[in-house]
Amino acid sequence: MTLQPSWRAARAWWAILPVLLAITSLAQGSSHPKEFNYVLWHCPTDITLNSVDAAERCQLTERPIASGQRFDNANQLMRIEIINPTAQTQTAQLFIGPYYLPDLSILNPDDPSAPIAQGGAFAGGSHSAASLGGHIFTLELSPGANQRLIAIRAPGFAHISIQVNSIDASGLTPNGRILNIGVHLGMLAALTGLALVGWFLRPNVVNSRLLLLTGLIAIQVALGTGFASLLMPSVSGLVLMMAFSVLIMLRTAAWGWLYQSLIEPHYSQRWYQWGCGLSYSLSIVAIAFYLMNWLVAARILSLALILMIPLLHTVAALRVRTFVPLLKPALVGSLVIYDALQIIALVLLTVNAGMSDLPIVISRILDIAVPLLAMAAVLLRNRGSDQQLASTEQDLARREASLAAETAARNDKHALIHMLTEEVRDPLAGIQTASRELLDPSIKNMATVQQTVRRINVSARTINEIIERCDLHNRLEDEGITPNLRNIDCQHLLKELITRFDLHGRVKLTGPPLTWVNSDIQLLDKLFGNLLDNARQYARPNSLIEVSVFDELQQSDYGQAPATHRPSWGVKISHEIDPETAPDGDQIFNQHYQAHSANQGGGSGLGLSLARQIAQVLNGQLSYHATNDHVTFTLEVQHC
């Protein structure tokens, strides 16, 4: 089975993972250089580099709240006091990370207007301070306390990591930072390679999106750690950092795109599809904001998407009921773990201002965990797909049933077109005959002309009713109808229809005066019209058509009804029939069914079918009862 290579590869990867984590731990615990002790203070937001007492007023142990809430690249000022415990001047390296901090300046408190050194991600990989994972500045430390000001232009919530290390006799500062980043990039490259192998083994949509996600994560980390800048020093740092920001949104959107391909085949609700489409659209908007340097709007939108996109897919995965048994727990579990890691990362990023590397650690865990969790879900999905191949015969049977349904629908359409052709033929013939009569120059009698025009009008109205009936049929079949409810004089509507169908003298209208009902007048017009037209066609010639109205609210014994009973109103239409033309009660509401008409040659067969559908839309029901020579149609609708 094609499952075996990818499944064995996954098991091998999970076996290698502890080794890689051990390497990471070894790198974390590798020998560090001698570090100088230092104290870091934050400056109030009202202090600028031109302030005379800038250094003395920088006494805050935490980042100012007003500064931490800013989403633009705001200026932040800090004072660092580095202790040189020796009696000699020492050369040290001040490391400030992460690399993607836009602008950095080191200043002398005695003359803050002239920077001692400058750097930052915008300076690019060719700048002397650029280093893997951050920026390094060389300082000469006098014996005792050494004061420096650090000016940073970055978002208020940006994490800042600071180290002050000594330089050995060779001029190097040995530490595990570069090794850590190298191992991290290597693991991401391995994951990307594994995704590439999976895509070669099974080149489908899911594996393509998985490869895209892992590749984007690897590229984003390469940009964020400065690896790409150092590899391409001639490329503008501003361009690379803009690409880094754009990749954050592309990575988030690609992650959602992958999980959509895993969830949507089993959960195709409209709200979920719209939510996914909206998330992609907003991601494009955020990318446009980054490209236009609208950083505040871009970062707020990015934060909202990072939190909401996982929530969208988690809710959808929890509501799925048709997953392969092993896939749903794995998929939901991976989403919950991802949500938890994202929240922890955001909390650590905003709480730890500069004395802890926890945000960096959790970010690296996320970089590895996201593709790993996605790979596990994809592999389980592939395994489930392979298991479903055993049910090919059932799939073929379902396809045959679907084909049969399509064939039946096509036959229904053909039958409808045929019946419509027959129904339209008579009024068209009437119009054609009347037109010839009007064109006859021998006709001088105005009464004859008016009678001919009336015949044309009747035929045109008949054709219009046929068109409206077909349109209503299509709307009910394809998209559904929401009734426009309002108070209606039902008694008046019935009288209008009796006049329209020229049934005066044949219809006996009985029952209480149903002067108002809460319903849709257009739908009721079609429903009553179809029932009266059916009675006109199939009633015994010159027989009486009884129309009886009832309303439970107006009955004297309604107050004795149970409290849970909802009152209803309705109409009964009864008429006599010839036993030879009695319709089939089991098929009378079927589409295109036609009994032999006593008074007319044919029709589309949609009238009673539409009447029952309209009754259901109006929260009612239409029933049929017949005896040997008498039929009754009863419409019953609950009061709103």
Q: Residue 399 domain-assigned?
A: no
Q: Going by C-beta distance under 8 Å and a sequence separation of 6 or more, which residues neighbour residue 50?
A: 112, 113
Judgement on whether residues 239 and 346 belong to the same structural domain of the protein = yes
- Supply the DSSP string of 87-134, one letter for each residue: SS-EEEEEEEE-TT--EEEEEETTEEEEEEEEE-GGG-TTSTTEETTE
List the one residue out of 153, 215, 152 whose CA is nearest residue 188.
215
- 74-86 b/e with 16+ CB inside 10 Å = b? bbbbbbbbbebee
Q: Going by C-beta distance under 8 Å and a sequence separation of 6 or more, which residues neighbour residue 155?
A: 70, 71, 72, 73, 74, 295, 299
Judgement on whether residues 597 and 539 belong to the same structural domain of the protein = yes
Judgement on whether residues 239 and 116 belong to the same structural domain of the protein = no
For residue 206, CA distances in Å to 203, 222, 258 come to 8, 24, 6
Q: Residue 196 domain-assigned?
A: yes
Percent of the chain at pLDDT > 90 equals 15
Judgement on whether residues 186 and 155 belong to the same structural domain of the protein = no
Q: Residue 355 domain-assigned?
A: yes
User: Does pLDDT of 285 surpass 90?
Assistant: yes
Domain boundary among 175, 204, 235: 175
Q: How far apart are CA 546 and CA 575, in angstroms?
A: 6
CA angle 81/86/87 to nearest 5° reads 110
- Domain tally for the chain? 4
Q: What is the pLDDT of residues 52-110, one digit of tens each?
A: 676 777 888 777 776 767 788 888 888 888 888 888 888 888 898 888 888 998 988 87
Average pLDDT, integer, range 6-14? 46
Q: What is the CATH classification number for the domain harbouring 360?
A: 1.20.1070
User: Does pLDDT of 23 surpass 70?
Assistant: no
Domain boundary among 349, 373, 391: 391
Percent of the chain at pLDDT > 70 equals 81
Judgement on whether residues 583 and 491 belong to the same structural domain of the protein = yes
Structure tokens at 572: 């009964």
Judgement on whether residues 161 and 299 belong to the same structural domain of the protein = no
| Residue 560 structural domain | 486-638
Q: How far apart are CA 636 and CA 524, in angstroms?
A: 12
Q: How far apart are CA 618 and CA 488, in angstroms?
A: 13
Q: Residue 400 domain-assigned?
A: no
Q: Residue 401 domain-assigned?
A: no
Judgement on whether residues 261 and 125 belong to the same structural domain of the protein = no
Judgement on whether residues 463 and 501 belong to the same structural domain of the protein = no
Structure tokens at 17: 């993972």
* Confidence at residue 577, expressed as pLDDT on a 0 to 100 scale: 86
User: Does pLDDT of 145 surpass 60?
Assistant: yes
Radius of gyration of the chain (CA): 40
Q: How far apart are CA 366 and CA 340, in angstroms?
A: 10
Judgement on whether residues 279 and 210 belong to the same structural domain of the protein = yes
Least confident stretch, 6-15, 213-222, 301-310, 412-421: 6-15
* Confidence at residue 355, expressed as pLDDT on a 0 to 100 scale: 56
Q: What is the pLDDT of residues 360-384, one digit of tens each?
A: 788 888 888 888 888 888 887 777 7
Q: How far apart are CA 574 and CA 634, in angstroms?
A: 9
Q: How far apart are CA 65 and CA 189, in angstroms?
A: 39
For residue 615, CA distances in Å to 177, 527, 609 come to 74, 7, 10
Judgement on whether residues 331 and 183 belong to the same structural domain of the protein = yes
Domain boundary among 175, 198, 230: 175
Q: How many CB atoms lie within 10 A of CB 124?
A: 22
Judgement on whether residues 193 and 258 belong to the same structural domain of the protein = yes
Q: What is the pLDDT of residues 394-406, one digit of tens each?
A: 778 888 888 888 8
Q: What is the pLDDT of residues 605-625, one digit of tens each?
A: 677 888 888 888 888 899 999
Average of per-residue pLDDT values in the chain: 80
Judgement on whether residues 304 and 231 belong to the same structural domain of the protein = yes
Q: What is the pLDDT of residues 305-318, one digit of tens each?
A: 988 998 899 889 88
